[in-house]
Structure 1
Amino acid sequence: MNKTFLIFILFFNFYITNAQKQNNTPGSDFFVDVPTFIDLYKDSVIPITFYVHESDCFNCSNDLNYIDISLKPASSNNFDNPLVFDTMQWSNYMLLFSDYSIQNSALQSQSFLDSKPINDENHSILFTADTNWWIPVVPVVHITEHYFYFNFHIPYKVWSYYVNSDSVIDFHVYVSIDNDTDEEYWFRVFIRQNSIIRLPGWYRGDTHFHAIYTQNNAENGLPLHSSKVAAKMLGLDWITVTDHSCDFDNYGQSMVQNWQDLGNTIFNLNLSDSSFIFIRGIEASIKNSQEKVVHSLVYPNPLQPFSLPYIFDGGGDMSSTVVTVDMMLDSL
């Protein structure tokens, strides 16, 4: 039997009256994130991750018009005008984008490239795939699928202008959404003069991380591609992806296919850049001897990292599960 480490981390009692249970996230969410730390001499760009989740929900409106990004030294009181890239050739401007969503009907993701972003003279990013009903019309992109995401990279020659003696840069991100409330985000990025100290044989990592197959009221996972970019900048060497087994029945073609797709994505990301690796694990919803659903972090055999089977039934959120602790252990 392959050796696997188990850690029980959370208990749910499904017999408590009016107990709060996990289910799919109601409504749509717009996320923006920036790495907290970067190395001055190592990282040539600062990536900003944009992630729109569940735009296919009933009566949701995510008609994205433009995004403005403003910077300032932390010691300054006022942000500069939004960054614009209208002097760049469009082909070079598009190189500032990476790790974006592609059209995938099985996973319900929407193509970022089809949103037709352009380098406008007034905005950092202007989306032109569609138009609204205003007169005159306003360019937008109608985000209608479950997932839409991308990274936008601020070049070194742009952000280095804002590095003062305190080596701290503030970001303001303004997202214009047509027919809905615009979103604003503020971030502070610390510029390290020296890289993180490393010790031979020691590797920094995270044992509990959720990708996009985790979606419920309590937690919301993020795309692996952009997460890898940010994790490397923060000084991590590895992350264990532990999506909820009870969420694998919410998306895609089947639970087993989702598990295989996650493994394929991780394998390809590790193959393309082995300086940082993902490890496919799972946060399993299982039933203990007292008929209570508990969560267990399950990690694979290090010698066979993709051998961990998916034996779960998608239960453990709104419904219970038939998978017991013994059944899980016997499958390993």
Structure 2
Amino acid sequence: MSGERAHRTRHSVEVAAPAGAVYALLADAERRPLYCPPVLHVERLDFDGPRERLRSWESAAGDIRSSISARVRHPHERRIEFFQLRHEAPLASMGGEWTVEEAAAGRSVVTVRHEFTVMGDRPDDVAWVGLVTDDNARAELESLRRIAESGIGLDHLVLSFEESVRVNGPGELVYDFLYRAADWPGLVPHVPRLDLTESSPGVQVLDYDVRLPDGAVRTASSVRLCFPHAGRIVHKQTMPAVPAAAAHVGEWTVVPDESGVRVLAQHSVLLDENAVRDLPSGIGQARLGLREDVGSMARATLELAKRHAESAVRALPLRPAPAGTC
């Protein structure tokens, strides 16, 4: 389009970790929400060897935006190309690449390059896109550096688990309880306060207090993406509630079957490596404590959703038996 020109940015960081380990972090797109603060959720739409197509939701200077991107991985070069196939205004195009280069003494240099165009090339829009691109690139690079330099490894720092409950009731009522989080204070014991805004349908921003199992109350915040037709609510705690967590993502899923529904609460938590080092028993103690704290709160919410749905079913009036039956 006339009037549009390409704008380019470049950001780098030196990491005290081998290039292969850093590249492995970058190559795992579905875990980006754990190690990249602005990335809220990533879903892989298709995958063909080195090529993959992803749908992502990201925070952009306070806005929540979604895009569909293609990535091509070149593992032997430690390089990943990316370009957006669908995006939101004012972007007209966005692409770039990640590279990881070996440096001296087991160190590496990570670089991300962006090239974008803006509709109409209006100065304010160009400045806004440039600001978001700069801020998000710096945040991701710093998080990558911190995790890679921890020496613990992402597989040990990440704790993934799920809780579930069977419900003899309609999935719509279970989903309704989970969706209406604004009603949780007074119902969910560990949530004494919750403020919810929904700037667009299905995109919820929560600011709330959490009462932890030890009685401490902490302030947390989350972004939730709601998919009612699929019975799913995915979430990322942008300010984690549990002290040992550096990042926390998860999903509520309502799965119907022939006799009711099964409700899952899935969680993936990235431990804060600094908090782990401060514990006498190290990472094992941190993982056990975090699993119990997060799990107990998830179980409590699941049981309340179950009670909500089953109570509504029991309250329905009985239908009279058809004539001629006994």
TM norm structure 1: 0.28
Could you say which structure has the higher strand fraction?
2
Q: Which of the pair has the greater relative contact order for Cα pairs under 8 Å at 6+ separation?
A: 1
